[in-house]
Structure 1
Amino acid sequence: MVALGGGMGLSASLAALRRITGDLTAVVTVADDGGSSGRLRDELGVLPPGDLRKALAALCGDDEWGQTWARVIQHRFTSQGDLHDHAVGNLLIVALWEQLGDHVQALDLVGKLLGAHGRVLPMSAVPLELQALVKGHDPRRPEEIDVVRGQATVALTPGEVQSVHLVPNDPPAVPEAVEAVLDADWVVLGPGSWFSSVIPHLLVPELRDALTETKARRVLSLNLAPQPGETEGFSPQRHLEVLGRHAPKLALDVVLADEAAVPDREGLSEAAERLGAAVELAPVARRDGTPRHDPELLAAAYDRIFRMHGRIGPWR
């Protein structure tokens, strides 16, 4: 099982998937340029560690050891000095990168320390910049298209994102990530920030090719609501259309959506069919009214999909 994404969306998927499989790999975007990750990236020239840290935390077990370490690596310092807002896990990951000189080996070591229920890999070994073409970024020029640079800025941009690309163009993929996708039984894309966490995986040529060539079944998990700025006003089917434009050769098997978040079921089914997929509707949202996935409900939905469309290996 391989899950691709970044940020809180990927964390939600991992927290669900670790409950139903013992063979799990996360492939994580590395274009973050905000907060603690952005500062470490600018100062040390390293990959942004934040989304990798979040993925590791999501893979921590529910026992005391796992939950203690999840809290520790997510802990942020509060001070009047340079450590303010740095996350412990970010510093730990970067320290191991410097000590070992190997991104994958260092992340594997952190995972072993945490007792993580899975492996975490960066999608590329080079820091990336996300750039977007945005229509109406300046409200005084609603029909003009501007270039917006940086993941943190793209995620909150006003206007309508038309497309995104990475700098440098066509970055190399981490070989272990490509191998994991090719060897998987299932690949999960999403949920998460559509343009800044999900689609970037399709902009790395080796990874995109692996996603189209793998014999794995592919499930796309849709968000519970449009993201303010980045996908504001997007319908569920619009999310699929945008994904298809960025990877025309990519076919899907299943699109998972919360039934309460799909006002036009026929429209979503038609958009999914164009990607070769069937739509599965299930209650996967938290019951507190926030647009976040419930790990137990999402796990149940994934498990049902895997049983209906082809089972993954048993948890061990």
Structure 2
Amino acid sequence: MNNKNQRTNIIAIGGGHGLGRMLSALNECGDQVTGIVTTTDNGGSTGRIRACQDCIAWGDTRNCLNQLITEPSIGSMIFEYRFKGNSELNGHNLGNLMLTALDNMSIRPLEAINLIRNMLNVSTHIIPMSEYPADLIAQTHAGQIISGETNIDNLKEPPALLMLKPIVPATKEAIQAINDAKLVILGPGSFLTSVMPPLLLPEINRALECTPARIIFVRNLSKEAGPAKKMTLSTILKWCERSMGGRKINLVLGPDNDETIEEVYQQVSVDLASVSHQWRHDRDKLSQAIKEILLGDE
């Protein structure tokens, strides 16, 4: 990547619906945007596939690709198809199975994603945080070890810490993307199980610590259903910074100013809610807010 374009890249980190929403809001920026996707999910169709195939979790990647489809086609209909009925295929998403099949054909997970991107005419880059399977592990304040995202989501209280097992290497293209970034976006989405897992990889940790990019945190518009709902924004920001080698978050984007966090954080307060669903970010509002942040950096 040449120097002229090097500082125009936007990196968004997370998983599930939150990252997909962010990437779709930035869709018009095309290949200047890269999503680094969590690969530790163990629920639903993804969890069932992982249990028998020993692969990375594809569900969050599939979700991001689905939200980036701008022109419906036969290819997109196939990719989004979900089986129904009483057979073993019930509940499986064909997109998950397609990505798994490509992986089984000894194609790198990133190359499998790129093949699907080309089929769906998606220009935004999608990179798995790692190309090796790992599980999210939590340790409670009482010392109990909880394995798997679905079990962590069911905790009554936030854990004392999170870790990955095993510690797997980050995808090298993800590290390069962070090194070349102008803006790094964390969130929105489930904090413990979507935003945090990529930050637990040592190479991503170091890349975020050293990147010259500004790092912003995008708040959720409503309380989460899982244990993170009991975490203050100040605690959430400190968790992120601890997982980035102490690197400070430059800006917090949300629907209002949170008076509980330190003044060291720049806060941008914008109406980001969808008219039909107040808990969901409106793509156009989110896109405009990010553009204004980028313009302020110039």
TM-score by length of 1: 0.86
Aligned match for 1:235, one of 223, 232, 235: 232
The one-letter code sitting in structure 2 at the alignment partner of 1:195 is L
Shift of 1:48: 1.2
**2:205/2:245 contact within 8 Å kept:** no
**2:241/2:249 contact within 8 Å kept:** no
Shift of 1:100: 4.4
Q: 1-side partners of 2:180 and 2:51: how far apart? A: 35
In the alignment, what sits opposite 2:144?
146
The one-letter code sitting in structure 2 at the alignment partner of 1:210 is A
In the alignment, what sits opposite 2:190?
193
The one-letter code sitting in structure 1 at the alignment partner of 2:14 is G
2:224 aligned with 1:266, yes or no?
no
Aligned match for 2:45, one of 28, 36, 50: 36
In the alignment, what sits opposite 2:275?
287
The one-letter code sitting in structure 2 at the alignment partner of 1:250 is R
The one-letter code sitting in structure 1 at the alignment partner of 2:94 is V
Q: 2-side partners of 1:234 and 1:188: how far apart? A: 20
Shift of 1:90: 0.4
Shift of 1:202: 1.4
In the alignment, what sits opposite 1:210?
207
Aligned match for 1:249, one of 246, 266, 270: 246
Q: 1-side partners of 2:78 and 2:252: how far apart? A: 35
The one-letter code sitting in structure 1 at the alignment partner of 2:66 is A
Unaligned runs of at least 5 residues, structure 2:
1-9
TM-score by length of 2: 0.90
In the alignment, what sits opposite 1:73?
79
The one-letter code sitting in structure 2 at the alignment partner of 1:279 is Q
The one-letter code sitting in structure 2 at the alignment partner of 1:268 is I
2:184 aligned with 1:175, yes or no?
no
- Cα distance 1:290–1:248, how it changes in 2: closer, same or farther (>3 A)? same
**1:12/1:293 contact within 8 Å kept:** yes
Q: Structure 1 stretch 283-292 or stretch 294-303: which is displaced more?
A: 283-292
Unaligned runs of at least 5 residues, structure 1:
136-143, 311-316
- Give the 3-state SS of the residue equivalent to 2:252 in structure 1: strand
Q: 2-side partners of 1:184 and 1:228: how far apart? A: 32
The one-letter code sitting in structure 2 at the alignment partner of 1:6 is G
**1:54/1:74 contact within 8 Å kept:** no
Supply the RMSD in Å over aligned alpha carbons. Answer: 1.8
Q: 1-side partners of 2:250 and 2:157: how far apart? A: 32
Q: Deviations over 1:37-78 (max 9, x none)?
A: 1111111111111011111112222x344xx65554233111
